[in-house]
Amino acid sequence: MDDADDLPLRWRTPTAWADVAVAAPLRLLDDHAHLERDAAVNALALLRRLPADRPAERWVRALTGVARDEVDHLGTVTRELTRRGGELSRSHRNPYAAGLRDHVRTGQGPDELVDRLLVSALIELRSCERFGLLAATGSELAALYADLTASELGHYRLFLRLAAQVVPAEAATARWDELLDVEATVASAQPPGPRMHAGAPTEGTTGAP
Ligand SMILES: [Fe+2]
Ligand SMILES: [Fe+2]
């Protein structure tokens, strides 16, 4: 996979985030399982927005492939949670993704679809960075996250490719540039905690919410 330094994120997660995450593995895995479900749902929801001028079959193949991967990940993460004595919680909030979706240009046809694809790419990209940090911890979770990283990296690249099919490539690139800044702001503003898309603890705190 790409080295984490190659990921085009504009705010780098401090390693203190990973320290908080691995200190509460059941809470991390629970949050992560919900995110995998959300990712599967998102991939299938995008099928309701197929561009009219593109072959549907290729989009269906691409997006169902993502959904299938995410369903697999949901199973893997939930099994790991259960094996450790945890239980999937019945409710979940995703303020990071909600913060990104606030910037989707809703009701604007191709621009809305591009934004939804680029936001999907951003979430995958940030997840790749976080998985890499977890893989580097040497904790019991390291192997799990090392295994999952390549798949999410593939999704990130796929969503970018799809976005470039909806509007001219220059327009997609320009919007991507804007949304990378948005993502850095949203990610760095999240409160700390043992969650995949949490912010980092400030120095001298434990990060416990
Ligand atoms: Fe996944
Ligand atoms: Fe993914």
For ligand 1, the distance from its centroid to the CA atom of residue 69, given in whole angstroms, is 6
For ligand 1, the distance from its centroid to the CA atom of residue 39, given in whole angstroms, is 7
Exposed, middle or buried, 97 (CB in 10 Å: 0-12/13-18/19+)?
buried
Model pLDDT for residues 5-43, shown as the tens digit of each residue: 689 999 999 999 999 999 999 999 999 999 999 999 999
For ligand 2, the distance from its centroid to the CA atom of residue 204, given in whole angstroms, is 33
Q: Which ligand is nearest to the CA of 147?
A: 1
Separation CA 133–CA 14 (nearest Å):
9
Domain boundaries, the chain: 16-188
Confidence class of residue 185 from pLDDT cuts 50, 70 and 90? very high
Q: Which ligand is nearest to the CA of 121?
A: 2
47 three-class SS: helix
Q: Which ligand is nearest to the CA of 123?
A: 2
Q: Tell me the CATH class for 16-188.
A: mainly alpha
Q: Are residues 204 and 137 in contact, defined by beta-carbon separation less than 8 angstroms?
A: no
Separation CA 117–CA 98 (nearest Å):
14
DSSP per-residue string spanning 64-90: HHHHHHHHHHHHHHHHHHHHTT----S
Model pLDDT for residues 118-140, shown as the tens digit of each residue: 999 999 999 999 999 999 999 99
| Residue 167 pLDDT greater than 80, yes or no | yes
Question: Taking all residues of the chain, what is their mean pLDDT, rounded to a whole number?
Answer: 94
Q: What is the pTM of this model?
A: 0.94
For ligand 1, the distance from its centroid to the CA atom of residue 202, given in whole angstroms, is 28
For ligand 2, the distance from its centroid to the CA atom of residue 85, given in whole angstroms, is 25
For ligand 2, the distance from its centroid to the CA atom of residue 11, given in whole angstroms, is 20
Model pLDDT for residues 41-56, shown as the tens digit of each residue: 999 999 999 998 888 9
The beta-carbon contacts of 56-65 under 8 Å, at least 24 apart in sequence, are: 59/162, 62/158, 62/162
Mean of the pLDDT values across residues 145-172? 96
